Amino acid sequence: MPTQPRTDNVKQPITDDSIKVRHLSHYQFSWTAQEPGQAGVLTLQLILDQGAWEEVLTVSAEDAEVLRGLLAHGSDVAYDVGRRVLMFGTTPVAHG
């Protein structure tokens, strides 16, 4: 009979704050007006793990355009909460 791995070293309990990478469920771009004569602010709201976590990022118009294209074609998008990095799936070697 194989030995079961010990679980003594598992940090308990697992909380929302201990999950570092989450899957993107939904997203929404928003534009917020500023004072007259000032440029507006673009934000990207990320809804992660079906609403278990939410993140709002301020983005430039150029970044918003690129991200919109990536998000429209990405079927598996993850977000690293600690590093604030969006990751767009994986591609096997020699399939790019």
**Rounded CA Rg of the chain:** 18
Give the mean pLDDT of 30-56: 95
pLDDT of amino acid 64: 97
Of the pLDDT bands very low, low, confident and very high (cuts 50, 70, 90), residue 75 is confident
Other CB atoms within 10 Å distance of the CB of residue 33: 9
> Is the separation of the CB atoms in 19 and 48 below 8 Å?
no
Question: Considering the entire predicted model, what is its pTM?
Answer: 0.75
- Checking if the pLDDT of 13 tops 90, the result is no
Q: Per mean pLDDT, which range of 48-52, 71-75, 80-84 is the poorest?
A: 71-75
Q: Answer whether residue 12 shows pLDDT above 90.
A: no
